[in-house]
Copies of this chain bind each other. A is one copy, B any other.
Amino acid sequence: MIKISVMYPNTPGAKFDHDYYRDKHMPLLEARMGASCKFYTIDRGLGGIAPGSAPTYVAMCHIYCDSIEAYVAGASPHQEELQRDIANYTDQTPVIQISEVVVGNS
């Protein structure tokens, strides 16, 4: 299994609407991707490891798929619609990474 991690930098003054992201954007992505999205998770950044420090990312999502090919097949036909929705919740450009899930939640 692979995961696509979409990580939004916590730059000073960054806009991020966590409610919209949880209630609208990610359900939209899941609906559009269909079965190619096995499941997804969402994180809200609380802080760094030093007490009182800021988190590196204000929010992240992780989209789990059987393979990179499954992700591309599920997401690419809807890329324009999904990207157009981003302005509704953030002004940040995310860092995106594809990873192999070495140990999942077992």
A96 vs B55: C-alpha distance in the bound complex, in angstroms? 8
Query: In the complex where A39-B106, A56-B95 touch, is A100 in contact with B44 (Cβ < 8 A)?
Result: yes
Counted per complex, copies of this chain come to 2
Instruction: List which A1-26 residues lie within 8 A (CB) of chain B.
Output: 2-5, 7, 18, 22, 26
Q: Are B97 and A22 in contact (CB-based, < 8 A)?
A: no
Q: Are B3 and A43 in contact (CB-based, < 8 A)?
A: yes
Q: Are A97 and B3 in contact (CB-based, < 8 A)?
A: no
Q: Are B102 and A43 in contact (CB-based, < 8 A)?
A: yes
Q: List residues of A whose CB falls within 8 A of some B CB.
A: 2-5, 7, 18, 22, 26, 39-49, 55-57, 59-60, 64, 68, 95-106
